[in-house]
Structure 1
Amino acid sequence: MTLTQDNQVSSPLAPGIRPAEKLTTEALVAKFGAQPQTARASYCRSGQWMGLVPIKLPNGRLLWDAAEVETLIAGQPAKTPDPAGIDAHMARKAADKAARLAKMDPVAKAKNLSAARPAATDEVLTTAWRDL
């Protein structure tokens, strides 16, 4: 596979065999006037961006189906993401987080878990000011 100048991925296969063209995240968001992190964050949080579900490469890069992007730009709805695929994505994320937490030392684990919860300090400070 090679990356062309317009950030499309091409694969040198036998003539007549043409895989679906894929776009990098940068090429995708350029078509919509968004920032790359917007699509990445949405994929991370919900498993899709605007109804588009990418392929995740082993190196972590995301490739998006060019035909689906063109369909969406043309004003037609994107294919509905497969709920089983989205559920699998979210389960994989949860398992990855659990595995990371299991490997952490107790101090780092406590910091990581406390960062995920809202800090009670704002509530304590507000209550302290009311008591004055």
Structure 2
Amino acid sequence: MSAPRLYTTNEAAAVTRHKPQTYRKLLSLKGHFHGVKPVKIPGGRLLWPADEIDRLVSGEATRHPETAAQHA
């Protein structure tokens, strides 16, 4: 089994055409970026699951369970 692909905050922001600060701000305010939660690595860096970010770009629903419950 291979390791999951991960984007840095800058890479994820480029893929979704947002500023990296938007990711950091939403993470701080809501605990996720449109339902996607990052992996925190030593040194405080964030790595974002590439498959979930790619789903956001393609328009597929990727929601955090708390967000999904609010819209149900």
The TM tier, using the shorter chain, reads 0.7 to 0.9
Name stretches of at least 5 consecutive residues in structure 1 with no aligned partner: 1-16, 84-132
Q: Deviations over 1:85-109 (max 9, x none)?
A: xxxxxxxxxxxxxxxxxxxxxxxxx
> Matched residue of 1:48: which SS?
coil
1:41 aligns with 2:25: yes
CA RMSD, Structure 1 to Structure 2 (Å): 1.2
Structure 1: 4+ residue segments shifted above 4 A: none
CA distance in 2: counterparts of 1:72 and 1:34, whole angstroms: 12
Match for residue 67 of structure 1 among 47, 51, 59: 51
Aligned residues: 66
Amino acid at match of 1:19: A
Unpaired runs of 5+ in structure 2?
67-72
Aligned-residue offset at 1:58: 2.3
Counterpart amino acid of 2:40? K
Is 2:39 the counterpart of 1:55?
yes
Q: State the partner residue of 2:64.
A: 81
Contact 2:16 2:53 in 1 (8 A): no
| TM-score, normalised by the number of residues in structure 1 | 0.47
**Sequence identity, in percent?**
32
Bigger radius of gyration: 1
Higher relative contact order (CA 8 A, sep 6+): 2
Given residue 81 of structure 1, which amino acid in structure 2 is its aligned partner?
A: H
Mapped contact 2:7–2:50 kept (Cα < 8 A): yes
